[in-house]
Chain A
Amino acid sequence: MLHENICEKGFLDEQFVQLEELQDDDPNFVEEIATLFYRDSSRLISNIEQALEKSPLDFSKLDNYMHQLKGSTTSIGARRVKNECTQFTDYCNAGNGEGCKRTFQQLKKEHSTLKKKLEAYFQLARQIGPVETACRPK
């Protein structure tokens, strides 16, 4: 149920709240940001996936892609995805390829889960209007 409050579950942080607060005059603003995020992040995830298939791994390239992805996740407030990005970066810096691959699988799961939750949220928001947001305290 949407009213489970996806912020309390840790999927989104206070950055998402800031985005909702900017939405006053443009009811589609947050959904637009989410669409941009998923378009950009999907591209980066695809790049990372291809890079992880190469041998030997280019940790510098992986780190660069992940830095970009982390920037996007920070912008939208995707906390859980961002945490996986941080973990991945740590493994990159340590030259731990297996750790990178393991974390990447978890990252993709979090990315996909958040997408489903946001899609449900925006669908409901379109139906009922801007009455309740995902992260405002009750």
Chain B
Amino acid sequence: MMSSSSSGSGKKFSVLVVDDDPVIQRIHRVFLDRFGFETQVVGNGKEAVDLFCSGASFHLVLMDWDMPIMDGPKATRELRRMGVRSMIVGMTSRDRDSEKQEFVRAGSDDCCSKPLTSNTVTSLLQQLHTKYH
């Protein structure tokens, strides 16, 4: 049984998926919608930064590593420099520990392997409930 992404007050957790892969975009949107998130998708790090600059906010950001225009670590550093306190999770390839290290140095809260699994999303939800209550 999937945990709800409700924050307890009836408000849903919001998530921004930052990835240029159309397959990942579609899979993650459906996956996260199924867990009750309000999901938005952008195709690169600059779009994510621009979205936050425009005043948008999200509880969770799932940030891909390799994207055109602005990659994941750079976007993560920029968001932290701007004072964004959202939970940022770097999405890495399974066999690239160097990517995880780079994301952590950039300021991410955690790293997960792509694509998302039920266990991963459940774990993220637990972290979100802890952070926002």
Residue ranges of B at the interface with A (Cβ–Cβ < 8 Å): 21-24, 26-27, 30-31, 34, 66, 93-94, 114-115, 117-118
Bound: A37/B22 CA distance, A:
8
Task: Offer 30 A-B interface pairs, CB within 8 angstroms, sorted by A.
Answer: A18-B117, A18-B118, A22-B27, A22-B30, A22-B31, A22-B34, A26-B30, A29-B30, A33-B23, A33-B27, A36-B23, A36-B26, A37-B23, A39-B22, A40-B21, A67-B66, A67-B93, A68-B21, A68-B66, A70-B93, A71-B21, A71-B114, A72-B21, A74-B94, A74-B114, A74-B115, A75-B21, A75-B24, A75-B27, A76-B23
Bound: A32/B30 CA distance, A:
12
Q: Which of under 10, 10 to 19, 20 to 34, or 35 or more describes the interface residues of A?
A: 20 to 34
**Which B residues are in CB contact (< 8 Å) with A67?**
66, 93
| Most A CB within 10 A of own CB, among B23, B30, B115 | B23
**Which A residues are in CB contact (< 8 Å) with B115?**
15, 74-75
A19, CB-defined interface residue at 8 Å: yes
Instruction: Tell me the minimal C-beta distance from A34 to chain B in angstroms.
Output: 9
Across the interface, name the chain B residue whose C-beta is closest to A19.
B27
Across the interface, name the chain A residue whose C-beta is closest to B113.
A74
Bound: A18/B119 CA distance, A:
12
**Which A residues are in CB contact (< 8 Å) with B24?**
71, 75
Instruction: Tell me the minimal C-beta distance from B59 to chain A in angstroms.
Output: 22
Bound: A34/B94 CA distance, A:
21
Contact check, A36 vs B94: say whether CB atoms are below 8 A apart. no
Bound: A71/B26 CA distance, A:
14
Bound: A27/B103 CA distance, A:
36
Bound: A26/B24 CA distance, A:
17
Given contacts A74-B114, A75-B114, contact A40 B23 (CB under 8 A): yes
Instruction: Tell me the minimal C-beta distance from A1 to chain B in angstroms.
Output: 28
**Which B residues are in CB contact (< 8 Å) with A71?**
21, 24, 93, 114
Given contacts A68-B66, A71-B21, A75-B27, 10 further A-B contacts (CB under 8 A): A18-B117, A22-B30, A22-B31, A36-B22, A36-B23, A68-B21, A72-B21, A74-B94, A75-B23, A75-B114
